[in-house]
Amino acid sequence: MVITYVKEGLPQAREDRQDLSDQVSLMLRVIEAEGEAAVTRYARQFDRHDGPVLLSDADRARAIAMVPDAVKDDIRYAHDNIRRFAQAQRASVTDCEIELAPGLVAGQKLIPVSAAGCYVPGGRYSHVASALMTITTAKVAGVPHITAASPPKPGQGIPPAVIFTMDLAGADAILSLGGVQAVAAMAYGHFGLPGADILVGPGNQYVAEAKRQLFGPVGIDMVAGPTDSMILADRRADPETVAWDLVGQAEHGYNSPVWLVTNDTCLAQSVLAMVPRLIDTLPEPNAENARRAWDCFGEIILCDSFEDMARVADEYAPEHLHVQAEGLEWWLNRLRVYGSLFLGAETTVAFGDKCAGPNHVLPTSGAARYTGGLSVHKFLKTVTWQRATPEAARPVAAAAARISRLEGMEGHARTADLRLRG
């Protein structure tokens, strides 16, 4: 495989995470020991919000009333797409059973977790889409209780549009909390709520580290890093469309890499010249985020063939992979390593980020090599069962006893021997 870097990014720096890890570990220990008092104290310190943590029905109603009808309609449109896609995913997996031999029956059941905690990030942007992606998916999976948490704006609380979205998606409880304290409150079951069996949703480095440390007793969707996006494009691609699609994803943050892989030199050079100009037209701080991401980590890679382009994509394992090249069916069948795939110039990653239907909580930092993104399956436990008649148990018992003794496990063997009597 021969590739040429028209623009090469800097290596992603490996952050010294020890200080971050120590901070999060201390906070989790304090919250576990002191409970709601510690959560409230951290909320005042870090969220700079001293209002109620658990939103009442009246709080919800007041916030919902503030949201314009046009905004509600857009959110409902996105919710409907996300809900119906999640329902299709849920229908793709079912309970089953098989008679392995006469009288020996085994099966599987899909049981939703009892409680989920959905984190909805705040910060620079109000992430209504993240609320839809996490809460809606848990609801469709059949989770009986869903707690949602989002950072409040200082002195204001959670933005009304986010509260409306959480309510629409099916949140049973809403916590006005951000960061480690929000993740811990959901995991430990504070404020009279059930402790979460699984924690999901994107967040900053503190949220990701808290989820990582809590994993084990509590499930998580994934440990997320900076978002990333790759475009595969040929000579037919429109340079302005490609450039804007790169810029649009770079605005996520200063450490969000975007990559163009192409077999056309003219396209590569056109996009290289165009991206900085497009970034300059963005408002601040979006322009600064995109500029730093592009200058430091943006790449343009020139390949000889479609196959080489596909190999680069497989090697990078991008979170978002967008094909703007001919032969879309070939790409769909060939590409194997990505979080979510966007086929054709008529789609864009922003569709998936906001409202198209498939989930936008996706593997980053190369994790697409071994996992997909958030789905109803994350909220379902696939458990198995078996039963046997006395006659069917005999050959199973005989084999189990022999294998147990082969392994040196005499106690196991004797439990099997019991089933051979009579």
Q: State the DSSP H helix or E strand holding residue 111, giving kind and residue range, or none if neither.
A: strand 104-112
For helices 265-280 and 286-297, the axis angle rounded to 10 degrees is: 150
List of E strands, 205-355 = 219-220, 229-233, 258-262, 299-303, 320-324, 340-343
For residues 206 and 102, give the distance between their C-alpha atoms in angstroms, rounded to a whole number: 55
Residues 307-315: contacts with CB within 8 Å, 24+ apart?
Answer: 307/334, 308/1, 308/2, 308/3, 308/263, 309/232, 309/261, 309/262, 309/263, 310/232, 310/334, 310/335, 311/1, 312/1, 312/3, 312/261, 313/230, 313/232, 313/261, 313/337, 313/338
For residues 54 and 51, give the distance between their C-alpha atoms in angstroms, rounded to a whole number: 9
CB 94 within 8 A of CB 110: yes
Residue 41: other Cβ atoms inside 10 A: 14
* Residue 344 φ then ψ, to 5°: 95, 155
| Distance set, CA 267 to CA 51, 236, 263, 270, 400 (Å) | 53, 9, 8, 5, 64
Catalytically active residues, by annotation: 319-320
Sign of CA dihedral 246, 251, 252, 254: positive
110: β partners: 382
Task: List the structure tokens of 313.
Answer: 């994509």
Secondary structure class of 109 (helix, strand, coil): strand
Secondary structure class of 282 (helix, strand, coil): coil
Residue 357: other Cβ atoms inside 10 A: 15
CB 386 within 8 A of CB 106: yes
User: Strand pairing of 96-101 and 104-112?
Assistant: antiparallel
For residues 261 and 9, give the distance between their C-alpha atoms in angstroms, rounded to a whole number: 13
Q: State the DSSP H helix or E strand holding residue 388, giving kind and residue range, or none if neither.
A: strand 380-388
